[in-house]
Amino acid sequence: MLTILIVEDDALLLDALTGQLLQLGYGVHTASSVPQAIALLQAQAVDGIILDLGLPGADGMELLVWVRGHIAGLPVLILTARDGVEERVRGLNAGADDYITKPFNMQELQARLQAMLRRARQPAFTHAAGGAQGVFTTLGPLAIDHASHTAALHGAPLDLTQREWELLELLVQRCGEVVTREDVLAVWRASPAESGAAAAPVNSNALEVYVHRLRRKLDPSSLSIRNIRGLGYMLAKP
Ligand code: CA
């Protein structure tokens, strides 16, 4: 199955495109900003990108430049409201494989995408420095890579200790369900002890401290860790 990354900040259009591509049998990843897209590409192999140029913060053209510097041969289809000849030339000069302007016809987009992927037919790409493909989970603004034990929030890497990482991974894997204190302590006991100043005994008090720290790190997001009285914790679905 070919996997496409759609980078688009218009939620309605993103939903429509995602639905169409899933129906056509593609795997789909989505991002709504350049940093989010880069974080995803660093951890996840994709076969092509549909890229909107008008994005909040950084221009989509910046992602195109980044892709050309980091992932050889990954095809990029630019999708934008800008229909000026200058923009079109700029995009193609920066290495876009094709260019389609909004409003567009979904069938035309499909045809262009299929043609672009045929031309580029190669095995799935991974980030140049990424090595083996990671097992990756995204939850709203949070992206976690189970292989490298790293996480990013809104595209920015989260600085996590080993126990914070283990706690976060468990909460994400069981998002929307109660994770009991005993579940977390069992994972911690099974893993090597944390070293240095971060080391703390494995007990319920330590768990409260780690939950508190993790909440602060997740604070600039819609993700919240709820206390479930007498039982444990639950990461609420964003
Ligand atoms: Ca846009």
**Per-residue model confidence as pLDDT tens digits over 171-181:** 988 888 899 99
Q: Residue 195 pLDDT more than 60?
A: no
- Secondary structure of the chain in HEC code, one letter for each residue: CCEEEEECCCHHHHHHHHHHHHHCCCEEEEECCHHHHHHHHHHCCCCEEEEECCCCCCCHHHHHHHHHHHCCCCCEEEEECCCCHHHHHHHHHCCCCEEEECCCCHHHHHHHHHHHHHHCCCCCCCCCCCCCCCCEEEECCEEEECCCCEEEECCEECCCCHHHHHHHHHHHHCCCCCEEHHHHHHHHHHCCCCCHHHCCCCCHHHHHHHHHHHHHHHCCCCCCEEEECCCEEEECCC
What residue spans in the chain does CATH classification 1.10.10.10 cover? 131-235
Which band of pLDDT confidence, cut at 50, 70 and 90, is reported for residue 200? Answer: low
**CATH number belonging to domain 131-235:** 1.10.10.10
Question: What is the predicted pLDDT for the residue at 156?
Answer: 82
Q: How far is the CA of 46 from the centre of ligand 1 (A)?
A: 21
Q: Residue 196 pLDDT more than 60?
A: no
Question: What is the predicted pLDDT for the residue at 7?
Answer: 97
What residue spans in the chain does CATH classification 3.40.50.2300 cover? 3-120
Asked if the 3-120 domain carries CATH number 3.40.50.2300, the reply is yes
Q: How far is the CA of 120 from the centre of ligand 1 (A)?
A: 26
Which band of pLDDT confidence, cut at 50, 70 and 90, is reported for residue 133? Answer: very low
Q: How far is the CA of 237 from the centre of ligand 1 (A)?
A: 26
**What's the whole-model pTM score?**
0.51
